[in-house]
Structure 1
């Protein structure tokens, strides 16, 4: 008989999965900012090549995401997430040993494989398999924890770099995967064990329309493009608006707290509403912030980062909760893998595209991301509740 877990065990599952995902994010997505330059210098490369290898890793992750989601649908997430820890450790080990750029690229390709089977999409699918349509709260919970990946990852990578070197830092992250993250994922429920009674088949409704799937894929791709472009070029954009370097850096530091605050709001107040409502608000946040920055210039720098950060924080949760609410839990993992594949590919190109726009257009480059935000909002208006 399928039994309900206590709220205490639910909290432990969220904490374990959120903590393991924090390690996965910190040791993949967030290491280039600290380790790319020393990697490039030792191998006689421009840092652009290392960031190019990282972009390739994101493309690899997009290619394997649908397979990982389908696998989690069939057998549960525990095994897939444990495999991701092993894959991350191998990729980081290749980086640590890389004698040539070819091996460096191979290491990043392996890390891309780990990203495709071990980041948020895999975590969301795992929770959907465990909790069914009740997974919204746990999904928000793991994003609250893993939202601190940069807060943990950047200082720890910097400490290992300063103490030992970049190769040893990669070894350190590989060991953290094996000693910390792997046991945490091994503790998750076995296989596809459900801890709530599954919904009757008719509750999931008819298969989603192609239009709905394409609209949601566009929303995820456009908003991830915006968040990646801002992550790479926010100080330069704010300086183009007239802000000083100090103000640009100080304002940029508010994005993290704004993301976490918005996720807390989603966990508390907004979860009473359909996820489509909070997602529409999140999509509108960046265009509104962009208009304020263009009209008021530097004085709006702080407002811009707070609005953008809050929208980005809620949108991260929406990538897990909105497909669940619109289309149901059946086939959730495979579906979210396909929905997020275009986003990963566009994410890889976002820093380069926005860099060119910022160089040629200055502050007017913000209309590119604002336009994508408006288009996303319109697409979400077209989508209907299930």
Structure 2
């Protein structure tokens, strides 16, 4: 005979290094088959199909747009059902979209496949993964997030050459199938292995003025909007540099070969910054990491603008700041809003940066074509300055409240 008292749910096991490395590997595969895929396959697609290059390239922006619109909904699902089922569903959705790419007979079907990939990105990349980790482990999640980011830090360095090899050997359609197979055969089991089942938080009690039988609308938490704008400005810079870095370096007088060689410094700089954060930053509030991240990115862009001879240092500083940004966007909201609201907050915080990222390639391409790369670099510097100012405001409010 039962007592009628609910049994307490067992606490999830602590995050392990093996599990975090496995989760980092999932991000390499998933980013390589989505966000980083277009940079390699765009030209082969246009060459084999004759579809307009602008439409082919804009498909990635379409996927990012869909991902941004879905992110708040995904965050609520993680909060209600836990991270494992949502991330597995997101991975399978992404794989379905990749198969759709491989089978696409025409441009509309190709674009529809990228819409499906966008749904998968919303449920399987860094933001939902960090939401799941933070909701599961609470304060212990910070080191786990950093270890995941370290493990996945060479995603571009690994994925672009691997994708290029696959395209040369198999063609772009079978390359998409390979990424889909990796998602199903490797990523899904790794999520099942590394993420505890059934970890969720109970919904908040309804507001006093909520109508009976209706859930209260999700409310913005203090400082959430300014944090969203801060993350958006950083995400726009990251996307613009990812798309335009080689051309910006060449506009500053570097040869194409030198530009490519220097761009390879980003990966090691990202990983190095994340290792330093893991070793030395675990006792510091994440607001300090936010300041370091925005300052390094801004200084890197300034050096590129005024001292092209120091382009190597500019890229190292930018890479370090961007590497820190990936960790901060997971750890800072957790420290500000706590474990209970974390998954829902992460979903809301992801929307504005993703929408900004969706628009960035088109805007940057237009600005560089009409006004040149010098003006584009000045605009990026202005955005970096805004990001530093916003970061100072966030840090002042956060650290000031901590002192009080």
TM-score, with normalisation over the residues of structure 2?
A: 0.87
* Distance (Å, rounded) in 2 between the aligned partners of 1:155 and 1:295: 32
Residue 5 (str. 1) matches residue 13 (str. 2): yes
Aligned equivalent of 1:204:
none
Name the CA shift for 1:300/1:357 in 2 (closer, same or farther; >3 Å): farther
Name the CA shift for 1:186/1:304 in 2 (closer, same or farther; >3 Å): same
* Distance (Å, rounded) in 1 between the aligned partners of 2:294 and 2:313: 16
- State the shift of 1:16 in Å: 2.4
Aligned equivalent of 2:352:
342
Secondary structure in structure 1 of the residue aligned to 2:282: helix
Aligned equivalent of 2:224:
213
Residue 326 (str. 1) matches residue 332 (str. 2): no
- State the shift of 1:361 in Å: 4.0
Residue 56 (str. 1) matches residue 62 (str. 2): yes
* Distance (Å, rounded) in 2 between the aligned partners of 1:97 and 1:345: 28
Contact in 2 for aligned 1:16/1:184 (Cα 8 Å): yes
Secondary structure in structure 1 of the residue aligned to 2:340: coil
Listed as ranges, the matches of 1:282-297 within 5 Å are: 282-296=293-307
- State the shift of 1:210 in Å: 5.6
Aligned equivalent of 2:83:
77
For residues 339-382 of structure 1, the C-alpha deviation after alignment (integer angstroms, 9 at most, x for no partner) is: 12111111112122223333414323222111111212211222
Contact in 2 for aligned 1:70/1:331 (Cα 8 Å): no
- State the shift of 1:285 in Å: 1.6
Specify which of 106, 131, 139 is matched with residue 137 of structure 2.
131
Give the aligned length.
373
Listed as ranges, the matches of 1:199-348 within 5 Å are: 212-296=223-307, 298-348=308-358
Contact in 2 for aligned 1:222/1:372 (Cα 8 Å): yes
Specify which of 167, 176, 191 is matched with residue 198 of structure 2.
191
Name the CA shift for 1:246/1:163 in 2 (closer, same or farther; >3 Å): closer
Aligned equivalent of 1:369:
380
4+ runs of 1 displaced by more than 4 Å? Answer: 207-211
- State the shift of 1:113 in Å: 0.4
* Distance (Å, rounded) in 2 between the aligned partners of 1:193 and 1:218: 28
For residues 41-75 of structure 1, the C-alpha deviation after alignment (integer angstroms, 9 at most, x for no partner) is: 22211322111111000000001111111111112
* Distance (Å, rounded) in 2 between the aligned partners of 1:66 and 1:209: 12
* Distance (Å, rounded) in 1 between the aligned partners of 2:98 and 2:145: 27
Secondary structure in structure 2 of the residue aligned to 1:301: helix
- State the shift of 1:211 in Å: 6.0
- State the shift of 1:21 in Å: 2.1
* Distance (Å, rounded) in 1 between the aligned partners of 2:343 and 2:128: 7
Name the CA shift for 1:310/1:208 in 2 (closer, same or farther; >3 Å): farther
Secondary structure in structure 2 of the residue aligned to 1:30: coil
Specify which of 95, 100, 103 is matched with residue 106 of structure 2.
100
Contact in 1 for aligned 2:234/2:384 (Cα 8 Å): yes
Secondary structure in structure 1 of the residue aligned to 2:254: coil
Aligned equivalent of 2:209:
none
* Distance (Å, rounded) in 1 between the aligned partners of 2:222 and 2:376: 30
Name the CA shift for 1:304/1:186 in 2 (closer, same or farther; >3 Å): same
Name the CA shift for 1:16/1:295 in 2 (closer, same or farther; >3 Å): closer
Unaligned runs of 5+ residues in structure 1 are: 202-206
Residue 354 (str. 1) matches residue 364 (str. 2): yes
For residues 116-173 of structure 1, the C-alpha deviation after alignment (integer angstroms, 9 at most, x for no partner) is: 1110011101111211122111011111112222233222222221222111111111
Contact in 2 for aligned 1:84/1:114 (Cα 8 Å): yes
Secondary structure in structure 2 of the residue aligned to 1:144: helix
- State the shift of 1:244 in Å: 2.5
* Distance (Å, rounded) in 1 between the aligned partners of 2:302 and 2:47: 40
* Distance (Å, rounded) in 2 between the aligned partners of 1:109 and 1:30: 16
- State the shift of 1:237 in Å: 1.1
